[in-house]
Amino acid sequence: MKPSFFDLTYDDLKNLLIEKGFSPFGATQIFDWVYKKWVHQPEEWSNVSKAAKEFFKENYDFALLKVVWNGLSKDGTRKFLVKMNDGQTVESVAIAARDRLTLCVSSQVGCAVGCTFCHTATQGLKRHLKTSEVVLQYVTIQKWLMDEVSSDVKLTNIVYMGQGEPLHNFENMKKATLIFMSEKGLGLGQRRITLSTSGLVPAIEKLAEDFPPVNIALSLHSARNDVRTELMPINKVYDLERLFKAIKLIPLKAHRRITYEYLLIDGMNDSMDDVVALANLLNSKESKINLIPFNEFPGSKYKRPSEQKIMWFLDQMIKRGFTCTIRTTKGSDILAACGQLKSEFEKLNLWDNERPVVIPSIASSVLQNQAR
């Protein structure tokens, strides 16, 4: 099988051109065709030499992923199930909010971390995604939106919050990030990419030195070791003390903070003791807390707190000087919300015959398939 073109960073491409005796300047033109003009047939690259075009046509694969299913939520969130060459599938979710269209991408098929609130965890880890499979989630869905919705629709942000622990797949996610950020191609700025981690300490320690500078979100979910261990078994190995030692190594530029994701679960981590522990653990000037009321899924053992309890928790953190928000749940009716992703074909039966109701708002309308 030919290697995928989408595994190549801009520097890889330049080096490849040099190695094969072509001009390295061709890298700029080729990235421009592939990532800006969306032309993936080398024979159509009019300003590239004939020999280089033939080389890429013969030796590289430009195939996109296959969208095997997509579902539109009532709030305009659209979930995609995409299939890779070996038949494995992962989910990517396009979320429209305000002036952004964010793509939540997966980093692994399944996940090894085993958080007890997470639907993906029930799959276990099947494999890491290749660099190309991460990049192609973006490219495939961007093309799908242009073809099926409107040529003007543009994905503006990426979050690594889909299936998998991105830092467990460090090298491939690093390369994918370099490709997303390359000014010669997609040119996504560092503030438009957010990496979310469950707290893999050895990889966090390498972030500052060895990963492009992107926004960081940490899935905290409790400031008490016993509760966090129950929710996230990774805390047994890397407890809060080790985790925060590693987090201090991440350089925070002016006006930038780490976001702490806090899943609010009824009777688990929503008491006054939890408020106090959280306020003691975090520095209110350097932290932003994002409260995520738990999204129940079939078979989940946890419950969502009442709206009153959620507002109380928010109020307690704000009173203590924290920037604290509640993440609006997006796409929960199609199991696209945080912690609900799992690639399983049975879900197709659930949604295939349903025509989701569409809320006509400016934000959600960009995702609607106007062709249908």
Query: Which residues in 223-257 are b (16+ Cβ under 10 Å) and which e?
Result: bbeebbbbbbebbeebebebbbebbeebeeeeeeb
Among 132, 142, 163, 316, binds ligand SF4 (CB under 6 A): 163
Q: For 288, how many CA atoms within 13 A lie in the half-sphere containing its CB?
A: 13
For residues 309-368, which are near ligand SF4 according to CB under 6 A? 339
What is the per-residue binding string for ligand SF4 in 98-137, x denoting contact by CB under 6 A?
-------------x-xxx--x-xx----------------
Among 42, 76, 164, 185, binds ligand SF4 (CB under 6 A): 164
d(CA 107, CA 91): 10
d(CA 239, CA 226): 9
* Smallest gap from residue 229 Cβ to ligand SF4 (A): 13
Do 75 and 330 contact (CB within 8 A), yes or no? yes
* Smallest gap from residue 262 Cβ to ligand SF4 (A): 13
* Smallest gap from residue 177 Cβ to ligand SF4 (A): 18
Q: How many CB atoms lie within 10 A of CB 30?
A: 27
User: Residues touching ligand SF4: how many (CB under 6 A)?
Assistant: 12
Among the residue ranges 89-97, 136-144, 157-165, 283-291, the one whose residues contact ligand SF4 (CB under 6 A): 157-165
Of 91 and 274, nearer to ligand SF4 (C-beta) is 91
d(CA 79, CA 72): 7
Give me the active site residues, please: 91, 338
For residues 182-201, which are near ligand SF4 according to CB under 6 A? 198
Q: How many CB atoms lie within 10 A of CB 286?
A: 12
Q: How many CB atoms lie within 10 A of CB 173?
A: 27
Of 118 and 204, nearer to ligand SF4 (C-beta) is 118
Interacting residues with ligand SF4 (CB under 6 A): 111, 113-115, 118, 120-121, 163-165, 198, 339
